[in-house]
Amino acid sequence: MQISRRRFLALVGAVSAASGLPREAVAHELAAAGDDPATVAARAAELTTLAQTFGPGGPGEGGYTPVVSKPGEGHVVRSELASPQTGRDLRRTTLVNLVHLTDQHIIDVQSPTRVEFLDRYNDGTSGCSAMPFASAFRPQEAASARITDAMMRRIRAIGYSPVTGAPLEASISTGDNTDNQQFNELMLFIGLMDGGEVSPNSGDPARYEGVQASGDLDYWHPDPAVNDFYKSAFGFPAAPGFLESSLAPFAAAGIGLPWYTCFGNHDGLAQGNAPVNPAFEQIGVGGTKVVGLPHGANPCNEFMGALTAPNAPQQPTTADADRRYVSRREWIQRHLESPGLPQGHGLSPANITPTAETLYYTADVGGVRWIVLDTVNPGGFSEGSIGDAQLRWLEAELVSAQAEKKLVMLFSHHGLRSLENPVEAPDPLQPTSNDLPRRRADEVLAVVSKYSCVIAWVNGHSHNNVIEARSTFWDIGTAAHIDWPPQSRLVEVVDNHDGTLSIFTTMVDHEDDEVTSFARELMANDPQAGFGSGDGDVEDRNAELVLAHPFPETSSATGPGNSIFGRSHRPMRVGRESRMGLTVGGALAVVAAKKVMDLRTRAHPADPPPSRPGSDVGASWD
C-alpha cells in the first residue's frame, strides 16, 4: 500500500509519541506500507546539494555573472575528534534529524529607520571599511519573504534524511529572523514559518516607496530608465516588475514541521546594532525617511545617529504604525500566540516574569537535549556575548544533562567566532532585559568544554558555512538566506553503535521561481557579498562529523538490521513531558484515524500552494 509523505510523517509522529520509540525505528517499521528507507533517502538527496549545487557561469558585459548548475558534493568525512569505524553505515540509528535555518532577515525594505545610505561607505574609499553597516543595502532584499517561502517549500519537498531516510523532526531558526526589530517583520516571519496568507508590503499598499525607486544612483533600480551605479559599473540588468512581484501578497507554505526559535541581534536591536530610543520609535512609525548624511558629516562616526542628525536629507513616505519596534517581552508573547507547533516554539510563559524576560530555554527533541541561548547584547553592537546569569543557568543545565547522560546540542545566533562584544552598558529602556556583566567567547568555552555531553554548537550570524572542531564537540555555522549562498542545512545525529556518533550536515538550496531565482542571481553579483563570500570550503558544507560517544555505555551495539524493535527504549520526552512506553504493534492499535488526522492538521496547517503563474511574477526580466 502506498501512502503519502505527509500521512507517513503524521503516522510516524503519532506512533513515536505513543510508544516512546525513536522516530527512525517507527519509520523503518512502517516503511512496509510504502518505500524503503534507502529509496526515501535517495529521493531526498536529489533535492539537496548532494545532487546539484550552484555557482558562477561565464561573466557577461560589465562582469555580471549568471548563476548556473554545478555538480553535487558528497559528504566529506571529518575525523578531527574521533576515528570513523568501518561498517558504521550498517549499524547507525538516528537520534535527531533537524533543519537549521538562520539569518533569514525578513526585511521591511520601505522602513524609515533603515540606513541604506551608509552602505556606500563600506567600499573603503571613506576610510570606514570596518563600519558595522556593510550590506545596509542589498539589491535582492525586497524578495526576502519570497526567499524564505521558497526555502520552506524545498524543505517540505525533501521531508526526510538524505542519509538514512528518517523523517525530518523539527527545525530551528537561529536568529536574525527579522532585520530591524520591527513588529511587521516579526509577524511576517511567524506567518512564513506557520504558513498562510502573508503580505511583505508596508506603508502605501499601492506603490513602492523605498530607495530602489528614489532616483539615487548609488542603489540598483529595476526601472530600465535609471542608469544607476550597479548597472554602469557591474552590468546589473533592468527588471521591471521585480519589486511589485516581491512585495505582493501570497500564500506561504510554512515549514510543515515543529519549529523552534532563537533571538538574533537584528531581532533585538535597531538595524542589529543599536538599542532603540524614543527618537527611533517616532521616526519608525512616521512619514519621513532619512536618506543621507548631513553635509560635512563623517560617515565613520554617524551610524544610527544619522537618523536623528539635524539637517539630514529626507523624503516623505507613508506612515505605518506596524513598523513599531518590538520589545523582548512582546517578541516572546507573539511566539506564544503563534498557532504553529510546538506552542511558543521553545519559549514558554516562564520566559516572562515581572522582573525579567529571558530568551533562553531547553527542549528535548528526539534523543537529544537542545539548549538554546540568547547571545544578543542589550547594550548594542552587532557581535554577541552572554550575560552572567545566563551562563550560570547554562552550566546548571549542563551539569544536569551530564548526570542524566543526555546528549546536548547548543543553538545560538552568535557562535564562538562572534562572541566578542565588548559592550557592558545596559539597555536603559528595557531594564528587565539586562544581564550584566557580560561573558565572551573564552569564558563561555571554558564552561562548555567541561561537559562531554555537548556534541555540537549550531549557530549563524557570520553569513557563511563553517565547521570547526572544538575540543569534544563540533561548531557548525550556516550561511544566511539573504546573502550568497542562500542556504539552510540539514543536521542529522546518528549513533554508530561502535563508541562513536556521526553528525551529518547537508546543505539545501531554496526552490526556484521567477522571483527567487532572480534574487539568487542578484545576491551572487552583490559587489560586497557575492560569489564566494559565504560558501565556506567543501568540508564546511556536506560533511560527516565523527566524534566519540560521551556515554558509550548507553548505546547498544544493535543496529537497524539486528532487531532494533526488540531493544528496550526509555520514553522520549518532548518539552520535558514524559510519554507512555508501548510496543509498536500496540501503538498502531491505539492510534485511531482521527488522532492521526488531528496530528496532520496541527503539524501541517496548510498544503503548499500551487505554483504561482508566471504572470504573477513580473516576467519582464530575463
Instruction: Indicate the residue type of 214.
Output: S
Mean pLDDT across the chain? 85
**Is the pLDDT assigned to residue 267 strictly greater than 50?**
yes
Euclidean distance between CA atoms 530 and 480, whole angstroms:
12
**Structural domains in the chain, sorted by start:** 45-553+607-616 (3.60.21.10)
Render 271-293 in DSSP notation, one character per residue: TTTB---HHHHHHHHSSEEE-SP
Euclidean distance between CA atoms 115 and 291, whole angstroms:
7
pLDDT, one tens digit per residue, over 309-353 is: 777 788 899 999 999 999 999 999 999 999 999 999 999 999 999
Report whether 374 contacts 358 (CB < 8 A).
yes
**Is the pLDDT assigned to residue 511 strictly greater than 50?**
yes
Residue 302 binned pLDDT confidence (cut-offs 50, 70, 90): low
pLDDT, one tens digit per residue, over 17-69 is: 655 666 655 665 555 445 788 999 999 999 999 999 999 999 998 999 999 99
β-partners of residue 491 are 98, 505
pLDDT, one tens digit per residue, over 392-404 is: 999 999 999 999 9
Euclidean distance between CA atoms 118 and 216, whole angstroms:
13
Report whether 304 contacts 280 (CB < 8 A).
yes
Tell me the average pLDDT across 266-274. Answer: 94
Euclidean distance between CA atoms 40 and 38, whole angstroms:
5
Report whether 461 contacts 413 (CB < 8 A).
yes
224 to each of 231, 236, 425, 521, 619, how far by Cα in Å?
10, 10, 47, 18, 14
pLDDT, one tens digit per residue, over 474-490 is: 999 999 999 999 999 99
Render 352-420 in DSSP notation, one character per residue: EETTEE---EEEEETTEEEEE---B-TT--SSB-EEHHHHHHHHHHHHHHHHHT--EEEE-SS-GGG--
List the one residue out of 284, 344, 326 whose CA is nearest residue 308: 284
Euclidean distance between CA atoms 239 and 216, whole angstroms:
17
Residue 486 C-alpha cell reads as 542562500
Query: Which of 7-11, 85-89, 359-363, 616-620 is least confident?
Result: 616-620
379 to each of 159, 387, 424, how far by Cα in Å?
40, 11, 7
C-alpha of 202 from chain center: 23
pLDDT computed for residue 430 by the predictor: 83
Euclidean distance between CA atoms 352 and 361, whole angstroms:
12
Euclidean distance between CA atoms 177 and 102, whole angstroms:
7
Q: Which helix (H) or strand (E) holds 578?
A: strand 577-578
Q: Specify the DSSP class assigned to residue 445.
A: H
pLDDT computed for residue 620 by the predictor: 38
Query: Which of 12-26, 143-157, 567-581 is least confident?
Result: 567-581
Residue 584 binned pLDDT confidence (cut-offs 50, 70, 90): very low
Share above pLDDT 70 across residues of the chain, in percent, rounded to a whole number: 80
Alpha-carbon Rg for the chain, nearest whole angstrom, is 24
Euclidean distance between CA atoms 565 and 93, whole angstroms:
12
pLDDT computed for residue 191 by the predictor: 98
Euclidean distance between CA atoms 502 and 80, whole angstroms:
12
Tell me the average pLDDT across 246-260. Answer: 98
Report whether 480 contacts 463 (CB < 8 A).
yes
Biggest CA-to-CA distance, the chain? 77
Euclidean distance between CA atoms 414 and 421, whole angstroms:
10
Report whether 411 contacts 372 (CB < 8 A).
yes
Tell me the average pLDDT across 545-558. Answer: 87
Report whether 23 contacts 12 (CB < 8 A).
yes
**Is the pLDDT assigned to residue 605 strictly greater than 70?**
no
List the one residue out of 24, 3, 4, 331 whose CA is nearest residue 13: 24
pLDDT computed for residue 73 by the predictor: 98
- Peptide linkage before 342 cis (omega within 30 of 0): yes
62 to each of 49, 217, 235, 531, 543, how far by Cα in Å?
29, 17, 4, 15, 36
Share above pLDDT 90 across residues of the chain, in percent, rounded to a whole number: 72
β-partners of residue 457 are 410, 475
Buried b (16+ CB within 10 A) or exposed e, 71-106: eebebbebeebbeeeeebeebbbbbbbbbbbbbbbb
Tell me the average pLDDT across 218-223. Answer: 96
pLDDT computed for residue 129 by the predictor: 53
Give the position of cell 552568535: 414
pLDDT, one tens digit per residue, over 72-128 is: 999 999 999 999 999 999 999 999 999 999 999 999 999 999 989 888 877 655 555
The pTM assigned to this predicted structure is 0.85
Q: In sequence order, which residues have a C-beta less than 8 Å from that of residue 108 and are 6 or more positions away?
A: 114, 179, 180, 182, 184, 185, 202, 323
